[in-house]
Amino acid sequence: MKRSVAVSLVIMGAAALAACEDQTVDTAIYGSVDECIADRVYTPEKCETDFKAALAAHEKVAPAFATREDCEAEFGPDRCRQATEQHASGGFPFLPLLAGYMIGRTLGGGPVVDPQPLYRRAGSDAYVNARGTEVARSTGPVKVSTRSGVAKTPPATTRTIARGGFGSRSIGISA
Amino acid sequence: MDRIEIEERPDWRDDAERCGFLFHTIDGEPYWDETRAYRFSLAEIEDNLEDPTQELLSLCYRAVERIVNDGALMERMAIPEEFHDAVRQSWTRKDYDLYGRFDLAYDGRSPAKLLEFNADTPTSLFESSVFQWRWLEGMKELGRLPDEADQFNSIHEKLVEALPVIAGPNRRMHFAGVFDSGEDRATVEYIADCAVQAGIEATLIDIAHIGVDAEGWFTDSSDYRIETLFKLYPLEDMVREEFGRYLIETPTRIVEPLWKLVLSNKGLLPVLWEMFPGHPNLLPAFFEGSPASDMLGDSYVRKPLLSREGANVAIVDPALPGGGIAVDGAYGEEGYIRQQVQMLPRFGDDWTVIGSWVIAGRPAGIGIREDRSPITRNTSRFVPHFILD
């Protein structure tokens, strides 16, 4: 056969022609490498590697606040400190302390859930990722939808220094 | 290969609009035209279109290898000098490309001849990939075409396969274009749609809203760094714009990559002819002003190095009324090439060109355009095809 077996659209048009599959993947969140190893679901190597990946992402993508007060209002007293490495936003803002991490999962060869840093929100004490999306209320196994905001590390925000330097050709290429 | 008259699906306009294909009629004139269709044998498709497409692509890759290592040639192709190293590095790094469309003159008898390669911002993707496919399925449901009828069109599948490779492990991409143009926007949305189906987080952004940060990353309207940028916007314009200089060292991956500057340029055609003279799928072509271009005499097609949708293309032939046929446009200041005249095949009153798609380095299907004029333009009608032995 020389043609596509199926042609679906999920975001175009008034009625997307077919919905696309959303998969649920088993993963887990842990407060520390030791807790991960003690749980005996993942190998000690996996526990360690994913923690390092989460830690590396932490100072770059953690929610950033200009002042300690703003940060503590969201994450609670004594749960914030100033960044020691330059944050993706350009400076050295106040960040919540790393409270745990999520184990990354792959499926069919590709990553579907990233290992990523987690924080605990003041009040509910829920674990949230750097995007602020709640992952779980306690550590241990958790199911994550591959299309949810929880599955992936958020992109780093930055400081745009100039805008509008493309697009002087105002008509489209098909015009 | 022949063209048949065929009844259109009664509800196709509703179907088009449901899919977001709103430019099926442009200024009251049909753009999508299913009152007729082209029929091919499987051998015609595989031996005379698919294989030559793969072959032409491999010739193009060899031409890129040569051009990027020849500063004088890049100069001649009007690639700004400050980009020569970056173009070469982009090729040496094997920066991923997504797609391109060869325009071929093919009449079902003689070998397909390459007219040009739209390697950077090819249009008519959605209609080739989706709406043509839906036409075939619909015609089968109506019993107007037999179940065994096929189509050379795996564009959609190949896009969904290729995009995750391009997006890389972070599975995030931005999709930019000129959103004032409904057609451009729909094309960008379609590619983003394929990306979402492939599990990629897709963000749409108007090309004019792109920013840049202190480290040279391009940024979106929310100040997120753009890791991979698909842009439906000509590279040759981007390198000449204010942010063009950031393209040289940006960590943002751009699709199509900079090395496509070499292929989306009509200067490719004389280079191909010089490297592979007499190749059955190539036409003689020369840089205007080079001594060899006199070989074409006083009858030739004149094409600007940089041009789209037939703009500023002229057929020069003293045998034609008025000495030829020309299409207006705003291109040409960078120079011209001359190509041997190869008139398109005619079916009834129409001149027919075949757009042969390449996705991630593989032939992926065709889309056919027809015009009452021998030069195909952006208003040329899109006509579906099927394969039936």
Range of the structural domain that residue A143 is part of? 22-174
Give contacts of A161 with chain B, Cβ < 8 Å.
211-214
Whether A90 sits inside 8 A of B213 (CB atoms) is yes
Q: For residue A17, tell me if it sits in a domain.
A: no
pLDDT score at A18: 43
pLDDT at residue B344 tops 90: yes
Nearest chain A alpha carbon to B237: A169
Counting the structural domains of chain A, the total is 1
User: What gap in Å lies between CA B245 and CA B268, rounded to an integer?
Assistant: 24
To the nearest whole number, what is the mean pLDDT of chain B? Answer: 94
CB atoms within 10 A of CB B334: 17
**Phi, psi (rounded to 5 degrees) for B324:** 145, -170
Whether B211 sits inside 8 A of A164 (CB atoms) is yes
User: What gap in Å lies between CA B137 and CA B131, rounded to an integer?
Assistant: 10
- pLDDT average, residue stretch B40-69: 98
Of B133, B211, B227, the CB nearest to A3: B133
pLDDT at residue A73 tops 70: yes
Higher pLDDT, B271 or B289: B271
Digit-coded pLDDT (tens) for B171-204: 899 999 999 888 899 999 999 999 999 989 899 9
- Above pLDDT 70, what percent of chain B? 100
Cis peptide before B334 (omega within 30 of 0): no
User: What gap in Å lies between CA B283 and CA B270, rounded to an integer?
Assistant: 9
Q: Which tokens in the block code for residue B160?
A: 């969904």
Q: Does A18 touch chain B (CB under 8 A)?
A: no
pLDDT score at A108: 64
Of A7, A110, A163, the CB nearest to B209: A163
pLDDT score at B331: 73
Q: For residue A10, tell me if it sits in a domain.
A: no
Per-domain residue ranges for chain B?
2-265+347-387, 284-341
Is residue B230 within 8 A of residue B220, CB to CB? The reply is: no
Q: Enumerate residues 6+ apart whose C-beta is below 8 A from B134.
A: A7, B15, B19
Whether A168 sits inside 8 A of B241 (CB atoms) is yes
Of B172, B190, B207, the CB nearest to A167: B207
- pLDDT average, residue stretch A34-46: 95
Higher pLDDT, B103 or A130: B103
CB atoms within 10 A of CB B8: 18
Amino acid type, B173: M
Q: Which tokens in the block code for residue B321?
A: 């009324």
User: What gap in Å lies between CA A170 and CA A164, rounded to an integer?
Assistant: 12
Is residue B324 within 8 A of residue B304, CB to CB? The reply is: no
pLDDT at residue A21 tops 60: no
Q: For residue A70, tell me if it sits in a domain.
A: yes
Amino acid type, A158: T
Q: For residue A4, tell me if it sits in a domain.
A: no
Give contacts of B222 with chain A, Cβ < 8 Å.
157
- pLDDT average, residue stretch B61-85: 97
pLDDT score at A109: 61
Whether B190 sits inside 8 A of A12 (CB atoms) is yes
- Chain A, 153 to 172: residues with Cβ < 8 Å from chain B are 153, 155-172
Q: For residue A7, tell me if it sits in a domain.
A: no
pLDDT band of residue A110 (cuts 50, 70, 90) is low
CB atoms within 10 A of CB A26: 12
Whether ipTM tops 0.95, in short, is: no
pLDDT at residue A20 tops 50: no
Is residue B212 within 8 A of residue A161, CB to CB? The reply is: yes
Whether B189 sits inside 8 A of A5 (CB atoms) is no
Whether A175 sits inside 8 A of B181 (CB atoms) is yes
Q: Residue B266: name the closest of B122, B95, B57, B119 by CA.
A: B119
pLDDT band of residue A33 (cuts 50, 70, 90) is very high
Whether A12 sits inside 8 A of B187 (CB atoms) is no
Give contacts of B183 with chain A, Cβ < 8 Å.
172, 174-175
User: What gap in Å lies between CA B233 and CA B210, rounded to an integer?
Assistant: 12
pLDDT at residue B239 tops 90: yes
Interface test with A, best of B41, B165, B196 (most A CBs within 10 A): B196
Whether A174 sits inside 8 A of B177 (CB atoms) is no
pLDDT at residue B164 tops 80: yes
Q: Residue B272: name the closest of B337, B358, B208 by CA.
A: B337
pLDDT score at B132: 97
Whether B214 sits inside 8 A of A161 (CB atoms) is yes
- Above pLDDT 70, what percent of chain A? 87
Q: For residue A5, tell me if it sits in a domain.
A: no
Q: For residue A36, tell me if it sits in a domain.
A: yes
Higher pLDDT, B311 or B48: B48
pLDDT at residue B85 tops 80: yes
- pLDDT average, residue stretch B246-268: 97
Higher pLDDT, A153 or B373: B373
Give contacts of A174 with chain B, Cβ < 8 Å.
123, 181, 183-184, 187, 309, 378
Higher pLDDT, A65 or A109: A65
Q: For residue A78, tell me if it sits in a domain.
A: yes
pLDDT band of residue B327 (cuts 50, 70, 90) is confident
- Least confident among A160-169, B72-81, B102-111: A160-169
Give contacts of B197 with chain A, Cβ < 8 Å.
8, 10, 20
